Amino acid sequence: MKIGNKNQISILLRKRILDFAVKTEKAHVHIGSCLSAIDILIETLVFQMGSRDRFILSKGHASLALYVVFNYLKKISNKELASYFEEGTHFGIHTPGSMPDLIPLATGSLGHGLSFAAGVALGYKMQDQKTKRHVYVMISDGECNEGAVWEAAQFAVAIRIDNLTVIIDKNRVQALGRNKEVLGDGASVAKWRAFGFNVGTCNGHSFADLSAGFSALNKLKNNRPSVLICKTIRGRGIKSIENKVVSNYTAVTKEVYEEAILNLKS
Amino acid sequence: MRYIFAEQFQKIADSDKKTVFMTGDLGFNAFEPLIQSMGPRFINAGVAEHNMVTAAAGLAYSGLKPWIYSIAPFVSIKVLEELRNDVCLPNANVKIVALGGGFDYAIAGPTHHALEDVALMLTLPNMKIYVPSFPQDIAPIIKEMSEHQSPSYLRLTKAHTTNINIPAFKPMRQVIKGDKLTIVVLGSLAVEVIDAVSKFEYKIDLWAVSQLPLRIDDAFEESIKKTKSLIIIEEHVEHGGLGQYLSAYLMKRGRVSPNFIHLATKGYQSGLYGSRDFYLKENSLDKKSIARIVEKYLSRL
């Protein structure tokens, strides 16, 4: 697909995220993370994954971005998605456990997704070497504060799984500060390379760059898991909160919504 | 019981090729045959238990049947969130083998003891807890665990044997018959209790519990109705263990309200280290202390 068309999908799904966010007017939507992750999710789920591959959103607070991509893929219906944030919905703030074929792990507590993904990838590999079912997991750079991420990173390398791709949404901001000022940059190339991963980097808002990043990693055949470190901007598209700590807790009010829509149109 | 476990587990691993064994870097001098026979299905997940639990959940998701193994506190207290979120909430088919229930790790000290694990596991959805009382329980328990498509937790202790004839494994079984005092004991502390009460012939109605949650045997309620006296003994803290489980059950049923004594661990009063028996004595759970308490109780009847 042409890059221009991918950009059209991005505009469409960014608008959907904003439409749901303004409906709730709740900060818990985690609009900042949804807008940093959405382009990576589109590239991964729509253009990279095979039908039997699995995707785990370890940074479960960006769930709305995942829901709208699944809706675009017709795996979540409009009616189902309309229940987002409503009483009795499947689609709350964090990814649910009620649809394991689509969402293999209910997340929300950070630091679980990579271990789970490594287990699934190993399980697929042990049961069938030929099918090459691939497992993708998205974590955030803030999530790299978690010790379990590094337990999992060591494990994934030790068990020599080449059917696992870690995708880091590197928006450089966490809940209460900038990553570098909290525990340092957990999404640095040096750290992941030191742990034994194949490492790629890209601009997480450029479809050309994302696609090239995946392609370069896919070419490597060395029994190592891969990580694609995607530089992103938290809250991208809402200039007043872009790249700011506040973007984690910004409720999309009508005013914020109008600012974002104007920006999308431009 | 780890040698018996290894021997019995070997049979499961041989017959079911979807079975995978993960250890947190433990099993030296016990699992070498398993390593040989299981090949890549034997995984040393390293000293990284948080990862091991969640990776096992991932293996289960892929269709395999993982068993994870470490010292009890490292696969219970340390990883409670992973067990809750990734194993129990999705009802993943993961088996947890926890070595060293209670004071079993003795002079290794409190960091290696598991006095709270039963309580913690009982709070988790879908979790079955197996607390073998005698070495011969291991085979039927791991067979049952392997056949059941849900999480379960096996609290292993060192092998204890007893001279009396023990009925086959059941979640709750009568071990000694008597008519003055009903005693219930959790897991392998049963052996100490059998020794402690053997001199009170025909007076003690002794029951062993080896699985929780538990469907209470009607005959057990009959026993309490008859004796009107109940002592519950466990190598576990008072809160959340068998004592509170059974007493809450009996209160809900509202049929019997016996005189009740709960013998549980009280903690590390001296702060000193020693053998399992040292800790049992400090907590009045050794043979002599139990015999003394029972004798005193019987003398008042």
**For residue A199, what are the β-bridge partners?**
A227
Mutate to test the interface with B, among A55, A105, A132, A154 (most CBs of B within 10 A): A105
Asked if B129 and B95 count as a contact pair (C-beta separation under 8 A), the reply is: no
Asked if B80 and B120 count as a contact pair (C-beta separation under 8 A), the reply is: yes
Q: Which of A106, A126, A158 sits opposite B89 (nearest CB)?
A: A106
Mutate to test the interface with A, among B19, B43, B51 (most CBs of A within 10 A): B51
- DSSP character at residue B228: -
Q: Measure in Å the smallest separation between the Cα of A12 and chain B Cα atoms.
A: 33
SS3 content of chain A, % helix, strand, coil (to 5): 50, 10, 40
What is the pLDDT at residue A125? 96
Judgement on whether residues B80 and B222 belong to the same structural domain of the protein: no
CA distance linking residue A179 with residue A169, whole number of Å: 12
Would residue B163 count as lying in a domain? Answer: no
- pLDDT per residue over A107-129, tens digit each? 999 999 999 999 999 999 999 88
What is the pLDDT at residue A133? 96
Would residue B226 count as lying in a domain? Answer: yes
What is the pLDDT at residue B61? 98
Q: Which of B51, B64, B85 sits opposite A151 (nearest CB)?
A: B51
Mutate to test the interface with A, among B43, B62, B68, B82 (most CBs of A within 10 A): B62
Judgement on whether residues B92 and B59 belong to the same structural domain of the protein: yes
Q: What is the mean pLDDT of chain B?
A: 96
Q: Which of B97, B126, B156 is the last residue of a domain?
A: B156
Domains for chain A: give ranges and CATH numbers.
3-265 (3.40.50.970)
Q: Supply the CATH number for residue B13's domain.
A: 3.40.50.970
- pLDDT per residue over B14-32, tens digit each? 999 999 999 999 998 889 9
Judgement on whether residues B113 and B210 belong to the same structural domain of the protein: no
Judgement on whether residues B210 and B248 belong to the same structural domain of the protein: yes
Judgement on whether residues B151 and B178 belong to the same structural domain of the protein: no
For residue A223, how far is the Cα from the chain centroid? Answer: 24
Q: Do B64 and A123 touch (CB under 8 A)?
A: yes
Would residue B164 count as lying in a domain? Answer: no
Asked if B228 and B259 count as a contact pair (C-beta separation under 8 A), the reply is: yes
Task: Name the residue of chain B whose CA is nearest to A155's CA.
Answer: B45
Q: Is the per-residue pLDDT at A169 higher than 80?
A: yes
Q: Measure in Å the smallest separation between the Cα of B150 and chain A Cα atoms.
A: 16
- pLDDT per residue over A211-243, tens digit each? 999 999 999 999 999 999 999 999 999 999 999
Return the SS3 of B37: helix
Would residue B165 count as lying in a domain? Answer: no
Task: Name the residue of chain B whose CA is nearest to A120's CA.
Answer: B58
Enter the tokens of residue B226. Answer: 């008859």
Nearby residues of B149 by Cβ (< 8 Å), 6 or more positions away: B93
Mean pLDDT of A171-187: 96
Judgement on whether residues B189 and B227 belong to the same structural domain of the protein: yes
pLDDT grade for A3, boundaries at 50, 70 and 90: confident
pLDDT grade for A5, boundaries at 50, 70 and 90: very high
Would residue B193 count as lying in a domain? Answer: yes
**What DSSP element (H or E) covers B231?**
strand B229-237
% chain A with pLDDT above 90: 94
Q: Do B58 and A111 touch (CB under 8 A)?
A: no
Mean pLDDT of A59-77: 98
Mean pLDDT of A156-169: 98
Would residue B263 count as lying in a domain? Answer: yes
Would residue B162 count as lying in a domain? Answer: no
- Ranking A69-73, A129-133, A186-190 by mean pLDDT, the lowest is A129-133
Judgement on whether residues B147 and B101 belong to the same structural domain of the protein: yes
What is the pLDDT at residue B301? 82
Report the largest interatomic distance among the alpha carbons of chain A, rounded to a whole angstrom: 53
Judgement on whether residues B244 and B132 belong to the same structural domain of the protein: no
Q: Is the per-residue pLDDT at A130 higher than 90?
A: no
Return the SS3 of A174: strand
Q: Do B55 and A147 touch (CB under 8 A)?
A: no
Q: Do A155 and B90 touch (CB under 8 A)?
A: no
Judgement on whether residues B103 and B150 belong to the same structural domain of the protein: yes
Which residue carries 């957990």 as its tokens?
A186
Return the SS3 of A152: helix
Give me the number of domains chain B comprises. 2
Which ipTM score applies to this complex?
A: 0.97
CA distance linking residue A257 with residue A194, whole number of Å: 42
Q: What is the mean pLDDT of chain A?
A: 96
CA distance linking residue B140 with residue A101, whole number of Å: 34
Q: Which of B156, B182, B204 is the last residue of a domain?
A: B156
Tell me which residue range forms the domain holding B223.
172-300
Mean pLDDT of A139-144: 98
Judgement on whether residues B200 and B62 belong to the same structural domain of the protein: no
What is the pLDDT at residue B254? 86
Q: Supply the CATH number for residue B221's domain.
A: 3.40.50.920
What is the pLDDT at residue B196? 97
Judgement on whether residues B221 and B124 belong to the same structural domain of the protein: no
pTM of the predicted structure, to 2 decimals: 0.97
Judgement on whether residues B32 and B152 belong to the same structural domain of the protein: yes
Q: Measure in Å the smallest separation between the Cα of A165 and chain B Cα atoms.
A: 15
What is the pLDDT at residue B188? 96
What is the pLDDT at residue B152? 98
Q: Which of B156, B190, B218 is the last residue of a domain?
A: B156
CA distance linking residue B30 with residue A128, whole number of Å: 30
Q: Do B50 and A155 touch (CB under 8 A)?
A: no
Q: Do B85 and A119 touch (CB under 8 A)?
A: no
Residues of chain B with pLDDT under 70: none
Q: Measure in Å the smallest separation between the Cα of A27 and chain B Cα atoms.
A: 24
